[in-house]
Structures are given as structure tokens and as C-alpha cells.
Amino acid sequence: MNNMALSLTEVKKLSGESLTQNDIEYFRNRYGKRFVRALRVVEEKKVSKYQFRPSETAIWIVRGRARQYMVIPRIYCTCRSFYQDVVISREINMCYHLLAQQIAEIRNLYDLVESTDAERRRMYVEWRRTD
């Protein structure tokens, strides 16, 4: 099982109309501050899904404080924490952007941006740049 995916129990909790105090406690115990940050960016509508045509592929963008991060759901994020804490040190199973993407998708709280594959290729060139 992919440990970057939320469990069914977690998905169920997040699907509810509003999160109970118990739910929030549960997620905070499990994900700490990352959950709070993820929930905040979702509520601030900082998560977007780019849907490209004609390939029908999609990528997600989470706008952080300093810049935007590209998220491939349950697989990858372009942020430094993903590289350092998830891939290299394995201290955590996902960064808050990966968490935010799943919360946004489950709660249907994201901007949908329709775009073209030509634009997608242009975006990938941008993302490949390291800073």
C-alpha cells in the first residue's frame, strides 16, 4: 500500500460536512503541524488542479508562502521537504502539500484550470528549474 495515500478511515473523516474536534485531534496526532498547514492552504483556496487537453492528464499546484509547488497525487511534490524529509531521511511519509492536495480533492475545494498539453510542457520546463 502506498503510504502517501490517506487511509479509508481518514478519507471518511475528511468527507464529512465539517471536521469535528475529535477528527482534528486525530489528524494532529498523526500529522502534527503539517495537517494544520494543509487544512489552512485548502481553506484559503490555494490548491489548483490543472487539467490538460487533449491528453486528459492533470497536475496539482499548491501555493505556499514563498512559491508554488507541483504535486503529483500520492507520488511527488517539488518542495524541499519532500526531497529531504520524505525521500532522503524518511522522517515523514508526505509533505503538507501532498496532504493538502488530498484534502482539497476529498472536500472538493480546489480551482479547476483547464489548459493544453503545450502549456503543460511549458510548465514542466519551469518546474525542472531548481532554486
- Closest approach, Cβ 114 to Zn ion, in A, equals 24
- Closest approach, Cβ 28 to Zn ion, in A, equals 19
Angstrom distance (rounded) from CA 54 to CA 44 = 30
Per CB under 5 A, residues contacting Zn ion are 77, 79, 82, 95, 97
Detail the DSSP E strand segments found in the chain.
47-53, 58-63, 68-72, 76-77, 111-116
Which CB atom, from 59 or from 95, has the smaller least distance to Zn ion?
95
Question: The C-alpha cell of 127 is what?
Answer: 518546474
Give the three-state DSSP class for 79: coil
Which CB atom, from 3 or from 20, has the smaller least distance to Zn ion?
3
Which CB atom, from 4 or from 79, has the smaller least distance to Zn ion?
79
- Closest approach, Cβ 54 to Zn ion, in A, equals 29
Residue that is written with C-alpha cell 531548481 in the block: 130
